[in-house]
Amino acid sequence: MPTQRAVDPNPHPVPPPVLNPPVKLPRKAPVYAEETPTQLVRRARKMHKVLTETYPDAHCELDFTNPLELLVATILSAQTTDVTVNRVTPTLFAKYPTAQAYAEADREEMEAILKPTGFFRAKTNSLLKLGQALVDEYDGEVPGKLEELVKLPGTGRKTANVVLGNAFGVPGITVDTHFGRLVRRFGWTTEEDPVKVEHLIGALFPKKDWTMLSHRLIFHGRRRCHAKKPACGACPIAQWCPSFGTGPTDPELAAKLVKVPV
């Protein structure tokens, strides 16, 4: 807070002492322990509004042109980065353009392509089974319903919501590592179970916002709100975050932690 100069009620000819320049005191993390459900909704929506302004270009960072490509890319994104997946998928998509192609793929050839993504044997197994399941049950097409998607090999609720929200325009909340970490850090929930997190956070926002909410939180998690050392002093929603101070609060130090995607 800025230092205010005291007014001397008895002026005298002696010049006043020179005050030290104002010192920016470290802010304290806001406390929301007694927050009502209504207050939580309002705070969460304020934070989302600012994130919307901060990340106007938020989007799915996996490259795809159709539901099958997005489904495959999301399965491959487990335990690796979207950047790595995007380096591999052009070759993969060119070689296997249909579900039938995945079903009939040579295991060793696919493993060689997927090796950079890690756990490539398990991922190859998932894609082979996925292709066969799509051919057998859905005429080679990716279904557009959650209850059908989650039955497919290698596809859980997180993957299903990514596909629904970004390939079919069906609102969904993607509870990945970043999303789960941030909603707990923001004090929106203390729940650890991804399915419960999905439902609890969904109740705070209009359904139409779910997909973009996921993208914006994931963007924020990758760029500022890092797991070990968040850039608190460069955070646009710090004033509403009970975890402020987890990382450096000095603006200059925090700014150095902000990551720009390559």
Residue 158 known to be catalytic: yes
Q: CA 132 to CA 137: how far, in whole Å? A: 8
Residue 46 known to be catalytic: no
Whether the CB-CB separation of 189 and 198 falls below 8 Å is answered with no
CA dihedral 16, 20, 24, 25 (to 10 degrees): -90
pLDDT tens-digit readout, 96-144? 999 999 999 999 999 999 999 999 999 999 999 999 999 999 999 999 9
pLDDT tens-digit readout, 202-214? 999 999 999 999 9
Residue length, the chain?
262
CA quadruple 217, 220, 226, 230: dihedral positive or negative? Answer: negative
pLDDT at 260 over 90: no
pLDDT at 8 over 60: no
CA quadruple 71, 72, 75, 80: dihedral positive or negative? Answer: negative
Q: Which of 82, 136, 139, 158 is catalytic?
A: 158
Q: Which of 24, 123, 129, 176 is catalytic?
A: 176
pLDDT at 251 over 60: yes
pLDDT tens-digit readout, 13-42? 444 433 333 423 235 777 787 899 999 999
